[in-house]
Structure 1
């Protein structure tokens, strides 16, 4: 595994990267991973589905009640909000955080899958859930809390800082995926170090890849977005690959770990 100091050194001495090469390589890799990208979106929806149901069922009940009493009657919604207990609200908040942590773990698993496919290795569905384990979920949970905290502070500072922090925040999952032995603080520091070093490049890649994924998805009658939504992960992967790279020894160790 790469140590914290080694990672920082690699980032500090990173060579200049070409936007066009990174983007074209991302497209080539996407041709290998589009199915796994679709599965990532599917698994994310399945994970979030229970919370969506718990959150929206009371509103659906209030809408039905309002229809029975007339659209001009707001009593149904007034009763709904008045009846929401603190316990229910806390349950929803905790649910969002826990499922968000699982989502980060799935994203990290997808990055591992990308590396395997990039090296023409075999993958399986279980690779998505590599980090959905107790020893890893605690870190993804804390990373989720830190992401929310940084986002809230950035929003309070007139929103402009969000443009800056969106780059290092987008690196949390990939730094964790390939360096799970690092502490949460070290993962955050490495992400911000890499984000600062390649901020303009990564920001441009995120904007262009995000727009492309959305346009292609919408042109495919909307349903295509499920297949293209994972495309922005690929430029992030390529930047990480070119700047930090992968420890081949750790890859062999991971194969042994997965076989246990």
Structure 2
């Protein structure tokens, strides 16, 4: 699917039904909850090294200036690297999360359409796609940071297209980062209210059910918030199965 075709389908997208998408998301969750749990665990595991790196300045402060921690007056020279590491960690967390969610969405398509294929969680962390994952994560990070600096409220608006960037990339990785971003904002503008509502409700349901499952259940239910995005894209744009099947078969970008 070309960018022009994608834009045309977004412009002509039909009205979406909140209840229908939500119910189908629940049914799909029954098929992919194990894969969603694997995605969540992999995401956490891959972030552990970045957690360690982020807290190295605080560890250094405890070793070389323990009195500062005890007095509650930390050495700001050591705190600057800590905050810089937090920014770096936030960015790499977005990279890892973006790539694994996109791969999970491909698996959701396989389960939804009863296709046979490899469940490759690292599909988008490989060479043909990794550069675009970095670019899209950087774009998402920059937009989120700018929206936060603008008194936070704009963040509620941009969170919808930023979230949709993931599903558009998952099924259109041949497009450029700028084209994916434009398509995400166009789809986000057209379907903002229902997308925001589904994100909010699915997130709340995942948290409540996870807590009722003795908190550890949050790991199981966390992936549920991704599933409405799949159906928003499927019902708005459709799945070009021939195009998706060609992805990764020796195509270079």
- TM-score, normalised relative to structure 1: 0.86
Cα distance between partner residues in 2 of 1:156 and 1:46: 30
1:224 to 1:156, Cα distance in 2 relative to 1, 3 A: same
Matched residue, 2:166: 173
| Alignment deviations for residues 113-170 of structure 1 (CA, whole Å, 9 cap, x no partner) | 1100111123544x11111112311111111111122112222322221111111010
Q: Within the alignment, does 1:250 sit opposite 2:250 as a pair?
A: no
Matched residue, 1:196: 189
Cα distance between partner residues in 1 of 2:191 and 2:48: 36
Matched residue, 1:144: 137
Select the residue among 113, 116, 134 that pairs with 1:122. 116
Matched residue, 1:10: 9
> After the TM superposition, which residues 67-216 of structure 1 pair with which residues of structure 2 at under 5 Å, given as runs?
72-74=70-72, 77-78=74-75, 81-83=76-78, 93-94=87-88, 96-125=90-119, 127-216=120-209
Say whether the 8 Å CA contact 1:117–1:123 is kept in structure 2: no
Cα distance between partner residues in 2 of 1:111 and 1:234: 8
Cα distance between partner residues in 2 of 1:3 and 1:70: 58
1:222 to 1:176, Cα distance in 2 relative to 1, 3 A: same
Cα distance between partner residues in 2 of 1:85 and 1:139: 30
Shift of 1:48: 0.5
Cα distance between partner residues in 2 of 1:83 and 1:71: 12
1:71 to 1:55, Cα distance in 2 relative to 1, 3 A: closer
Q: Within the alignment, does 1:42 sit opposite 2:37 as a pair?
A: no
1:64 to 1:213, Cα distance in 2 relative to 1, 3 A: farther
Shift of 1:53: 1.4
Unaligned runs of 5+ in 2: none
1:91 to 1:250, Cα distance in 2 relative to 1, 3 A: same
Deviates more, 1:34-43 or 1:91-100: 91-100
Alpha-carbon RMSD across the aligned residues, in angstroms, is 2.6
* Structure label with greater radius of gyration: 1
